[in-house]
Amino acid sequence: MTTQPVRFYQVGSFAVGNRLLDDDGRTVQSDPNRTNSLDSGHRACQGCGEALGARYALDAAMRASQGRLVAVNATGCLEVFSTPYPETSWRIPWLHSLFGNAPAVATGVAAAMKAKGRPDVRVVAQAGDGGTVDIGFGCLSGMFERNDDVLFICYDNEAYMNTGVQRSGATPPAARTATTEAIGSVAGNPFGQGKDLPRIAMAHDVPYVATATVADLHDLEEKVERAMQVHGARYLHILVPCPLGWGSASSDTIRVARLAKETGLFPVFEAVDGKVTGVSPIRHRTPVEEYLSIQGRYAHLFGEHPRTDIISRIQAMADRNIATYGLLAEALADTDPKGVDV
């Protein structure tokens, strides 16, 4: 790995833009001519992480495809808040079919473009965690297995938010949802459940898999860009906090996402052909309490009778991730250049 001297640019590439950076060092979002794939007037809650993630990802995809893009959306918050008749907030070609079939519908769109001799028109399929890891799982696996030319993006807010915050296969342990309440000794969602979709995607040996959060825009856009350079089945898993469902302040959305990464609970990495090829290192390692304590869905772990046992288990999960993926910068020096077998 070659190193490059970094010229100091005040906020460097941490901020969305930077007047001291050349245009190509700034994000797509800093460009006043960005597509605004998801435009104003949608009905997302104040501070919605998914609305942010969707615009981030799709604007980047639109740039990467020079505006030749079609989006297929599963049922869920993103679809509902963006297209209530008579208003749509989408500025790009967009199709909503059902809850569980976004990957398959996208396959169809991609096939159509290929049959019509228009391989320049790229296809993105997007769904929430429910539409990806649960009801959409069958279609997703089929799309992966066939290596259809679709970039699938999962906006993970860790529950079925649109229907009232019910547990999904992506809900983390100890989180309170409407179907995993914290009552008595039951402390929310059980440990030992849940699907690790990025690893499942990798197990399908698809060309590109990556995770990202809305707190690191540069990283997210680079991953979209990299994904769009490739053809075949690609998977992007973006953590998008939901102030309503997570019980966090609407102004904290990005901060919560940042903490998810900095604690190690949400590893940010990318994988090519089934092997991890890079991680986004933790900048300031943070104990999980800082992340958990600002979310109402974990409120039952604190207070008069804190569940330190559960918090320890969650910390252990974070520590395991840090070790497994090598998330601390020092560990990177030892990374096998051929990739880490996860």
Partner 1 sequence: MLRQIEGSRAVAETVALCRPEVVCAYPISPQTHIIEAIGAMVASGALAPCEFINVESEFAAMSVSIGASAAGARAYTATASQGLLFMIEAVYNAAGLGLPIVMTLANRAIGAPINIWNDHSDAMAVRDSGWIQLFAETNQEAADLHVQAFRLAEELSLPVMVCMDGFILTHAVERVDLPEQPQVDAYLPPYEPRQVLEPDDPVSIGAMVGPEAFEEVRYLAHLRQLDALERIPAMATEFEEVFGRPSGALVSPYRTEDAEIVVIALGSVLGTIKDAVDARREAGDRVGVLGITAFRPFPSDAVREALSRARSVVVVEKAFSIGFGGVLSTDVAMATHDTGCTLRTIVCGLGGRPITRRSLEEAFAAAAQDELDSLTFLDLDHEIVERERTRMTTTRRSGPSAENILRDIGTVASRMD
Partner 2 sequence: MERPFAITLDVGSSHANRTGSWRVERPIYVDRLPPCNDACPAGEDIQRWLYQAEPGDYEKAWRQLVEDNPFPAVMGRICYHPCETSCNRAQLDEAVGINAVERFLGDHAIERGWSLPAAGPDSGKRVLVVGAGPAGLSATYHLKRLGHSVSLVDSAPKLGGMMRYGIPAYRLPRAVLDAEIARIVALGVDVVLDRTVEDIRRERDEGGFDAVFLAVGAQLGRRVDIPAGDSSRILDAVSLLHQVADDDPPMLGRRVVVYGGGDTALDAARTARRLGATDAVIVYRRNRERMPAHGDELEEALDEGITVRWLSTVNRFEHDRLVLEKMRLDDEGFPQPTGEFEELGADSLVLALGQDTDLSLIDEAPNVAVDDGVVEVLPTMMTGESGVFAGGDAVPSPRTATVAIGHGKRAARGISAFLSGEELVVPVRHELASFDRINTWYYSDAPRTERPELERVRRQSTFDEVVEGLTEENALFEARRCLSCGNCFECDNCFGVCPDNAVIKLGPSQRYEFDYDFCKGCGICVTECPCGAIDMIPEQI
Strand partners, 238: 155, 212
Q: Which of residues 269-298 bind partner 2 (CB under 8 A)?
A: 283
- Member of 48, 51, 92, 159 binding partner 1 (CB under 8 A): 92
Q: Are 299 and 321 in contact (CB under 8 A)?
A: no
- Member of 1, 2, 24, 41 binding partner 2 (CB under 8 A): 41
- Member of 10, 84, 229, 283 binding partner 1 (CB under 8 A): 84
Shortest reach from residue 159's CB to partner 2, in Å:
19
Pick the closer one to partner 2 by CB: 89 or 162: 89
**Which sign does the torsion angle of CA 273, 274, 278, 281 carry?**
positive
Interatomic CA distance for residues 252 and 51, integer angstroms:
14
Q: Are 50 and 245 in contact (CB under 8 A)?
A: no
By three-state DSSP, how is residue 47 classified?
Answer: coil
DSSP string across 139-184: HHHHHHHHT-S-EEEEEE-SSBTTTTSB--TTPPTT--BTTB---T
Pick the closer one to partner 1 by CB: 38 or 210: 38
Stretch that binds partner 1, among 16-24, 61-69, 188-196, 234-242 (CB under 8 A): 61-69
Stretch that binds partner 2, among 22-30, 157-165, 171-179, 309-317 (CB under 8 A): 22-30
- Member of 46, 163, 193, 308 binding partner 2 (CB under 8 A): 46
Size, binding site for partner 2 by CB under 8 A: 52
Comparing CA positions, the residue from 158, 150, 169 lying closest to residue 72 is 150
Interaction site with partner 2 (CB under 8 A): 8-12, 14-20, 26-27, 29-30, 32, 36, 38-44, 46-49, 51-52, 55, 82-83, 85-91, 217, 243, 249-255, 258, 283
